[in-house]
Amino acid sequence: MKKELEKKVRRIDTATDNLRVREKDSDSLKVEENVFDIPTLKNLYHLAKKGILEAMGGSISTGKEANVFHAEGPERELAVKIYRISSSTFKAMDAYIMKDPRFVNIRHKKRDIVFAWTRKESQNLIRAKNAGVRVPEPIIAEKNILIMEFMGENEVPFPLLKNVALGKEEARQIYDIIVEYMRLLYTEANLVHADLSEYNILIDPKDLSPVFIDMGQSVTLEHPNAREFLHRDVLNILRYFSRFGIKESPEELTSKIKAKIT
């Protein structure tokens, strides 16, 4: 047992050294073992050998299913999203992915669901970007790791919408763009975000343009719960922006989102 543990530690140390994991301070990379497990470290090392990843930095965010880290690529800053296989909320993922017609043949096992979820987020980001929605550009999805464009500058991520102080005019500007992005998602990408709120929208401080993130749960319009998810997104956006005096009914906003502009 002791020999096996020592062997495991050596393998972790080797993989980490090969990837040049940088620790900026004592708290910046304190993550659970279930994030940087052996298979994930091997996968990161493989991505580094392919020239996609040069160095891992500190933690950006910790969610229910995944941790996001800053990283360096050969030409630009990157975000590395690592879905935790051991502690992901499997049942929540299952509800979104098993009814998605794009993933009908996925085996009902936790590892397979997490890997499919990672691919699903990458595919959703591609569809959203191609439709004209500002999202992080996905670089590669490999097992439980999604590498994408870092939305920020000099290792500082863009703030979440909920943390940005706005006047009424600025809020209206952002609201109008969000509504247009929701429309483009629906009419051009054939997607519903399915978890849209002030917690999943970043704001670029340079021009106050919104960026949609966390699209792993996004579903196609063929999903049996797409209408319910859209209604929830609509209510979330209306609830948040009502504090700035923006008032529309859910029916009015839904009509805007479904409008196909020719």
Q: Where are the beta strands (DSSP E) in 63-206?
A: 66-72, 77-83, 138-142, 145-149, 152-153, 156-157, 191-192, 201-204
pLDDT interval class at 20 (50, 70, 90):
low
List pLDDT tens digits, range 132-155: 999 999 999 999 999 999 999 999
Q: What is the pLDDT of residues 149-208, one digit of tens each?
A: 999 999 999 999 999 999 999 999 999 999 999 999 999 999 999 999 999 999 999 999
CA-to-CA distance for 200 and 82, rounded, in angstroms? 17
What token pair was written down for 70?
Answer: 């800053």
User: Out of 3.40.30.10, 3.40.50.300, 3.30.200.20, 3.30.2000.10, which CATH number does the structure's domain 2-156 have?
Assistant: 3.30.200.20
CATH 1.10.510.10 in the chain is located at: 159-258
pLDDT digits (tens, 9 = 90+) for 75-91: 999 999 999 887 656 66
Predicted model pTM: 0.86
Instruction: Please indicate whether residue 204 is annotated as part of the active site.
Output: no
pLDDT in the model for residue 2: 47
Residue range 159-258 forms a domain whose CATH class is: mainly alpha
Residues 122 and 113: beta-carbon distance below 8 Å: no
Residue 94 confidence (pLDDT): 67
> What pLDDT does 110 receive?
81
Helix residue ranges per DSSP H, 20-161: 38-49, 90-97, 110-130
Task: Kindly state the tokens that stand for 220.
Answer: 């196609």
Q: Give the pLDDT of residue 64.
A: 82
| Residue of 37, 100, 195, 233 with catalytic role | 195
Least confident piece of the model among 61-70, 175-184, 209-218 = 61-70
What is the average pLDDT score of the chain?
Answer: 86
Verify whether residue 195 is a known catalytic residue: yes
SS3 144: coil
- Rounded Cα distance between 155 and 209, Å, is 19
Distance CA 222, CA 160 (A): 30
Angle at 165 between CA 162 and CA 166, to 5 degrees: 105
Amino acid in position 157: P
Q: Among 94, 100, 204, 214, which one carries the catalytic annotation?
A: 214
